[in-house]
Structure 1
Amino acid sequence: MKNEINIGLLGFGVVGSGVAQILDNHQEDLQHKLGVPVSIKKVLVKNLYKERDCDLPAEVFTTDLNEILGDSSIDLIVEVIGGTTEAREAIEKSLNAGKGVVTANKDVMAEYGLDLLQLADENKCDLFFEASVGGGIPLIRTLEDGLASDRISALTGIVNGTTNFILTKMKHDNMSYEDALAEATELGFAEADPSADVDGIDAARKMVILASLAFSTEVRLDDVFVRGLREIQDGDLELAAQFGYTLKLAGSAKKNCDGIEVAVEPVLVPDSHPLASVNNEFNAVYVYGEAVGETMFYGPGAGSLPTATSVTADIVAACRNLLMGVNGRRIHSPQHERHVKTDDRKFARYFHRIRVKDEVGVLTKLTAIYSRYGASLATVIQDSDNGIEADLIFITHQISRQQHLDIMNELNETPEVINVLSHYRVEGESR
């Protein structure tokens, strides 16, 4: 029986220092839960001489990963390096060295998660990754354990705090996209290069992880349809509000007998839907189960201590497995074969904003295009203020994504159409 658990911490940035802080401040609670102390034995850093505001002694820090992996007294590796290549290699080396791993790395888990989980199985090691999605929200554990007896049919939600903060400022403070992004950057919600956030890539990686777990199948990043915030046009948020919707960058994953579909894109959410009231940097995910029905998980999606809290929860789980001698006993291979829906099997309602020449017969011509592709219209609004151009707003009943694409293609080739200004999927409605 072990009388202590020693950790090798890889990285000491925002999250790594948060993990060290929680382990130090909550040591008495951890010992009560586990029966043994949990301490950081070594920390991998790039610069030994950087000033750090922590109580760890200088000899704990090292620049040599092999020094950590070769230490037989270290039981568990916590990877919070960030990035992809270096972190992936560190996780692989740790697992091959027979040491369990806790990681917060969504990039690595989205790209290489299946391979790494299989490597963990081969080496009879644990690989936990709760903090890779949702910051302090226990989404991964809920899907793996809490809802393990249910069949998940869909999940949808806000999984990127940066974009949610930007959209909140644009809607409630009437900020421009550029000003909202600047404030997000100033507050530390956005990186110096915000592309991964605002282009939807960060959220797509998280949806890969969630969909893989929810549906017990392999989901690849290439399977995710992605659109970002840059496609939002001036006036779209105001128009959405007029029709009773809020614009959110949302991730969605659905499964039925036709296969799976995963997407990240700006969508219109009815103001009555709880996701519409999730503001600022907060995340929220709706999970739909056959037995449990609808459940919602809400909380801070990023930040040092929220993310570090999820990492520490994984540390506790890994420590319990080590103490009971059951580490590496979970089976991570997918239950179902990968089967992605084609566009003609993905159904939703769509919002189309079209600028046209303000001429007699244009509305009739455009509605005929929708009819030709079997799309019925729930809402038709024409807005003209100069007698030369007009904006047409169409909201469809449910149509397939292929119908939507075919309609968009023909609209763009129609002489009377000046431009298709914007188009959005309508989320949270089935009619």
Structure 2
Amino acid sequence: MNSLLQEMGIAAKAAANSLRKASTKQKNEGLLAMEAALYAHQDAILTANANDIAAAEANGLPTPMIERLTLNPQRIKGMADSFKEIAQLPDPIGYVEEMTKSADGLMIGKQRVPLGVIGIIYESRPNVTADASALCFKSGNAVILRGGKEALESNKAIMTALQDGLMNAGFAKETLQLIPDPSRELASEFMKLNDYLDCLIPRGGAGLIQNVLKNATVPVIETGVGNCHLYIDKDAELEMATRILVNAKCSRPSVCNSIETLVVHEAVAETFLPVFAEALAPYKVELRGDAKTCSILPEAVPATEEDFAAEFSDFILAVKVISSYDEAIAHIQKYSTGHSEVIVTDHYQTAQNFLNDIDAAAVYINASSRFTDGGCFGFGGEIGISTQKLHARGPMGLKELTSYKYIIYGEGQIRS
């Protein structure tokens, strides 16, 4: 085992044992101290981020990835605000969800407890360093973070600030740790740190997530891959549909809750396709369509099978024209990654059918998929969007970073 990882694991276990006994008041004070530290270290963070961006541009990193990497005062404020918001949220730790009396007179309760030590592997978004730290800390978990090499200097600067805030509030700085070596070899060993990690959460593109799923021996919570669909039903209000599409595709195409495939009922295709194409034109969205789409939109290029399965994370949109609701459902079920799926329709029963027919972490009627976000859901942030069904699903907030134990009160009972 790598000595650095072992040292970090030992320190994280000790910090987790201390943190789980901290009061809500103490944790909230720690969160507010980290909020203040982010502002105090803002210049250093922005300088480090500028160095990362310069290196990324020199290495030809795609524009959407550079957008994910970029920090500015407003984004630092957003990171800092999340600490304040999470401090105001109820603390799940210690909450007894239920208490029942057994036939033997035992009082049996189910109490929320931290997971322990969480490992997180993520790519080019340095705000994850702050978001994950805030949520793990409030939910009583120590965390070891491994960010991507393209954001290393930014992540180190953010972690320096957070650890400074932690120590000012009387907590061990090892409660939050960042692996300083982003090499693949060390990442592979990190995925097998069973003696110290209670779970591992990958947050990034399909390649990263599949690598973790295939190679980790630590229990993994799968997050993030978002081949999200927007279905325009024959009974859709087309002006609303256009507004939702522009937001869901263009507001921030690099994130996992943006729309990648548009599915349109043929009854409205002739009318709707030219309208939405015009609305997307200012954003220079590349349209990749099936034969029907290409016959209506000359600017569209023929779509491949891979296009309908892709998470583009860019200004690219796959378009499919279908002849019935059932065909739309079949297409979505075939290609969906189980993240977020949307229908636009004014028909009540069709909307209800969509809710029942689509198996995804978030299913929307007449609203943008961009709302699939812990902040928008009232969680104060998120550790990621879980696309699996065991333990947690959808935006992972404080409760999703906990487990439970049974607490039993007796009066001398013995089992016969």
Q: Same fold (TM over 0.5)?
A: no
Larger helix percent: 2
Give TM-score scaled by structure 2 length.
Answer: 0.29
Give TM-score scaled by structure 1 length.
Answer: 0.28
Larger strand percent: 1
